[in-house]
Amino acid sequence: MSVFSIAGLQLSLSASENNFKQIEQQVLATKRRYPNVEMILLPELATFGPAPRHASVFPSATEEQFRKLAKQAEVWLCNGSMFERDGDHIYNTASVFNPAGDTVCRYRKMYPFLPYEEGISAGEQAVTFTVPGVGEFGLSICYDMWFPETIRSLVWQGAEVILHPTLTNTIDRDTETAIARASAATNQCYMIDINSAAPLGNGKSIIAGPGGEVIHRAGDNEEIIVTDLDLNYLRRVRERGWHSLGQPLKSFRDHPLEFPQYQGERSAALDQLGSLSKPKVPQNNKNNA
- Asked if 218 contacts 204 with a C-beta cutoff of 8 angstroms, the reply is yes
pLDDT digits (tens, 9 = 90+) for 237-251: 999 999 999 999 999
pLDDT digits (tens, 9 = 90+) for 85-115: 999 999 999 999 999 999 999 999 999 999 9
pLDDT at 1: 67
What letter would DSSP give residue 216? E
Instruction: Indicate whether 289 pLDDT > 70.
Output: no
**Cα gap 10→145, rounded to integer Å:** 18
Q: Is the pLDDT of residue 130 over 80?
A: yes
Q: Does the pLDDT of residue 187 top 80, yes or no? A: yes
The pLDDT of residue 77 is above 90 = yes
CATH superfamily label, 3-288: Carbon-nitrogen hydrolase (3.60.110.10)
Overall average pLDDT of the 110-131 stretch: 96
β-pair type (128-131, 135-139)? antiparallel
* pLDDT higher than 70, residue 286: no
Q: What is the number of residues in the chain? A: 289
- HSE, CB side, 13 Å, CA atoms: give it for residue 129: 18
Spans of all domains in the chain: 3-288
Residue 155 and residue 138 in contact, taking contact as beta carbons nearer than 8 Å: yes
Question: What would the pLDDT profile of 194-251 be if each residue is shown by its tens digit?
Answer: 999 999 999 999 999 999 999 999 999 999 999 999 999 999 999 999 999 999 999 9
Asked if 96 contacts 104 with a C-beta cutoff of 8 angstroms, the reply is: yes
- Residue percentage of the chain with pLDDT more than 70: 98
Q: What pLDDT, in 10s, does the model give residues 251-282?
A: 999 999 888 888 888 888 989 999 999 998 87
- Residue 72 has φ and ψ, to the nearest 5°, of -65, -45
pLDDT attached to residue 171: 97
Over the stretch 15-28, which tens digit does the pLDDT of each residue have? Answer: 888 999 999 999 99
The pTM of the whole model exceeds 0.85: yes
